[in-house]
Amino acid sequence: MTRSNDYLFDWIRPLAKTLKILRLVFTGLGVVLIAVGQVWMDYDKSWQADWSNLIFWMGVLAVCFTGVLLVFFERDSVSVLLDLKGSEELVVQQQDYISYLSKRESILLTWQTVTKLLSELLDQALTEPEISREKQEMMMLSTVEILADYKLTLLQIADEYCNISIYEYRDDENLLVCVACYRSRPSDAREKHRKWKVGEGHVGKAFELQRELICGDASAPDVKPWISASPENFDENDDVRYVSLAALPIAVSAEEPIGVLIVTSSEAMRFANSGEDHGDEDEQEARRLAAAALQDFAAQIAQIMSVCTSRAVEPSEESADER
């Protein structure tokens, strides 16, 4: 399809040729007239002497006209090079912006996809009149697997060590207990998980404060003591595995959290809050979008957990049904 500015260029191309011809004609004519005027000034014939000045100045005007054409329609090589450099910089900026828009679109589409999958999981829970403990565990495991499937696109977490866990608050124990877990090393997910007191570690802190904790580098001196595990829960691998983290309360009502969603990476700066300024603006925006998406997912997980709890079947009832 022909663009509108193609018509302009079709008009400019013949004009450029015309200007070149005019420069050649007026330059040649000006030189000839100046030479003729100077020669005629020395002639004895009166009519030649009378016309010599006019011819001379006509030649000067022709040369000046050529100079005007050069000033307004001909560019020097330095100006051309400077403009080319400016154009290259503009192209690079546009390419960066296109790359940012593409990355942003990818994150938003992934956000939408995960939201849809979690909604389907919620619909599945709503269709169940009774939900056994085993069924609850399967739903929570499906939830972390959904997040794990899209961790690269959404969170930029690739081959590094990643942990995605859902913790549920148990009133009878007054502890936060892991009910579903994904880890980059599958054998780690099958190990016995730690239980956290309210206010202990990043899990307990997020639950206690009833707000998300987003940390780009948990090893920072001003952060590490605040979210470190107690001596009985301490693991020597924590400093290596959990470098950047997001801990988000799971709550239907903001004042009454029922658990915590945890996503961690062994690489720094996978997550960012509004005050984080590491990296360029595009990277910061991508991390902020990821954090916002996780908040949305935590709200959906809260709905799933709430439905599962309200329709839970006690173990004794399950045993009776089996008999």
pLDDT score for 319 = 47
pLDDT score for 103 = 85
pLDDT score for 72 = 62
Can you give the residue range of the structural domain that contains 50? 4-74
Task: Answer yes or no: do 138 and 179 share one domain.
Answer: yes
User: pLDDT means per 10 residues in the chain (323 residues)?
Assistant: 53 66 75 77 70 79 74 56 73 83 90 96 92 92 95 90 95 94 89 91 92 86 78 84 92 89 92 68 83 93 93 63 46
Task: Answer yes or no: do 30 and 160 share one domain.
Answer: no
- Sign of the alpha-carbon torsion through 207, 210, 214, 219: negative
Task: Answer yes or no: do 152 and 289 share one domain.
Answer: yes
Task: Answer yes or no: do 115 and 195 share one domain.
Answer: yes
pLDDT score for 315 = 59
Task: Answer yes or no: do 193 and 254 share one domain.
Answer: yes
Task: Answer yes or no: do 70 and 166 share one domain.
Answer: no
pLDDT score for 234 = 83
Decide which of 74, 89, 123 is a domain's last residue.
74
Whether 192 maps to a domain, the answer reads: yes
Whether 108 maps to a domain, the answer reads: yes
Whether 207 maps to a domain, the answer reads: yes
Whether 263 maps to a domain, the answer reads: yes
Instruction: Write out the H or E segment, with its range, that includes residue 165.
Output: strand 162-170
Contacts by 54-57, CB closer than 8 A, 24 or more apart: none
Q: First and final CA of the chain: distance in angstroms?
A: 75
pLDDT score for 5 = 54
Task: Answer yes or no: do 203 and 120 share one domain.
Answer: yes
Neighbours of 245 (CB within 10 A): 24
Q: Which of 101, 30, 41, 22 is nearest to 64 (CA)?
A: 30
Return left, alpha or beta for 201; rule: phi > 0 is left, psi -120 to 50 is alpha, else beta. left
pLDDT score for 322 = 45
Whether 276 maps to a domain, the answer reads: yes
Whether 79 maps to a domain, the answer reads: no
* Phi, psi at 51, each rounded to 5°: -85, -15
Task: Answer yes or no: do 62 and 202 share one domain.
Answer: no
Whether 18 maps to a domain, the answer reads: yes
The residues, ordered by sequence, that sit 6+ positions from 301 with a Cβ below 8 Å of its Cβ are 118, 143, 166, 250, 259, 261
Task: Answer yes or no: do 16 and 144 share one domain.
Answer: no
For 253-273, the three-class secondary structure string (H helix, E strand, C coil) is ECCECCEEEEEEECCCCCCCC
Task: Answer yes or no: do 254 and 113 share one domain.
Answer: yes
Specify the CATH number for the domain of residue 309: 3.30.450.40
Domain count, the chain: 2
Task: Answer yes or no: do 152 and 69 share one domain.
Answer: no
Whether 80 maps to a domain, the answer reads: no
Task: Answer yes or no: do 34 and 142 share one domain.
Answer: no
311: tokens are 């329709």
